[in-house]
Amino acid sequence: MILRRKILPRNVSDALVTLFTLVIIPIVYYFELFVVLPHYYSQWSAGYTFHFVTGTFILFNVCSNYVAIVVCDTSIYGRLLPTILGPNSRFCAVCECIAPPRSWHCPTCNVCILKRDHHCMFTSCCVGHHNLRYFISFVFYIFISTVYASYYNLFFAFEFAEFGSWESIIKLIFPLASLFVSYSRHQMYLFIVLIVLIGGVFTGVLLYYHCDLILRGVVTHDRQQKLSPYDYGRKNNIIEALGERWYLVWVSPFLESKLPRDGVNWDVKQSLKAK
């Protein structure tokens, strides 16, 4: 793995979204395991221990995959690039080099990214060939954690939620705005519950979207293509994105899963070559 030279956000919007992500993850972890969980299980009982260990394992994968996304350099820096224009490659005037196939220039990172999928504001970096595996795992564990937590959160919230007046209903719908009007511990709990619920919906859609792209052998830039020249079949497409040990990447980002290609050289599907 080549490490990124600069990992700090390059603009205000990236900085704010990344800061929110770094703050909300430990807050939610504390809330779920030290506020909600003791409400249902006595401390260190069998049930409490099971959920505590499971939640901590999820947090480990969320944080470690997040760090891997940020520190992994998936740009053209340090790569042996082609010296002549080939099929699907092009000259990048900003980087002053020949950009390999499937790479595009990111205006925020100000560099060409190998197999660039998108620029992620939550990590302040691009997701591409070498860190897509960590991004998918990160989104997967965020989705699992939010669905897992929301099951208990909704029952927890309804125990103190009020529906007897318009004011109480407004507090349920707009918990953050209500905090500035009349702060209370329960109002803060409602805000966190809502954040977790929204996070589950958002990451669920995101996970479905990117899994569909992986299975079709495309990235966000060319998602409209009905027939991709880099579609090697579903299983091979998964290996192209997650590596040869794709079935183990979900356990830990520290497990090696070698990618079949270097992100610079790509084979076009034989059926399309013939055409």
Residue positions annotated with a catalytic role = 120
d(Cα 103, Cα 83) in Å, to the nearest integer? 15
d(CA 249, CA 237): 15
Rg value, the chain, Cα: 22
- Could you tell me the two tokens for 179? 């905090």
